[in-house]
Structure 1
Amino acid sequence: MSTTTEPAADELLHAAALTKADVDALETFLKGRFNAMWRADPDHVAGDLYRAASALADVLHDLVKSVRACFHYDDGSPKLLLARMRHWNRLVRFAERWHDADGYHQARWIYLFHVDAEDVASSAEFALGREREEAARERDRLLQSL
């Protein structure tokens, strides 16, 4: 049987808990990385490092814009929370290459699998039910082998 641990206070568990500040912080973190790339290019505007950093900054802008739009048009509907989660997960996928870099917030900048707290709870209940079913099957197998 598995043990359940309480999430850290700052751990992000579902799309409804995602904030604009999370989006802003991840954007700021990545922009800092891209700015360092721009400064590191000895050829400046003509160099490949500068071009790559500029392209990454453009992609970042588009990804962040999509997540922010989900906040702008937020009506609290599950459909919009699902869209927010999908756009956030795309942004996280883009950023995860820096997961081991200083300043990367591993408890907040993660993939989301649930839209709200109710979804998290029902998922946990489902997992617990499956765990109990498996334990019962195992018990039955043991009893039959006696």
Structure 2
Amino acid sequence: MKKLITSGLLLVFTCSYTAFAFAANTPVNTLLQAPTMNIEGTASSIVSKLDKSLSLTDVQKPKLLNIVTNYLRQKVAIQPLQQSNVKAYTTKMNSMQNGLHAKLKPLLTLTQYTSFQALKPASYDETNVLSQLFY
């Protein structure tokens, strides 16, 4: 019976040590890295959702898709800064947000832009694709 318990403890210890050693050799940013985004698919989903909410015209849709796609590409490009340099990430995100809104204002009517701002989720929500535009 002692041999069985000792063997079991040895097995648990070995598994724990192996898992710890693996995690210690894995870079931290790899462990905390967000999954890669499907930019084109996400942009299409955002435009589709905005089309339903804002009643976009046929002229607005492709322009909006281009703006959103470019914004998401920029967002993915700066994602590593979120772990390595939070201040730089925050500064760049604020600049990108301002740029996004500066491009949306002339594209949307005043009513559409006001409705767009009202669509902002209270906080980041993975289930709401619009969170990608606001957070």
Q: Same fold (TM over 0.5)?
A: no
Higher relative contact order, chain-length normalized (CA < 8 Å, sep 6+): 1
TM-score scaled to structure 2, two decimals?
A: 0.38
Q: Which has the higher helix share?
A: 2
Q: Which structure is larger by alpha-carbon Rg, 1 or 2?
A: 2
TM-score scaled to structure 1, two decimals?
A: 0.36
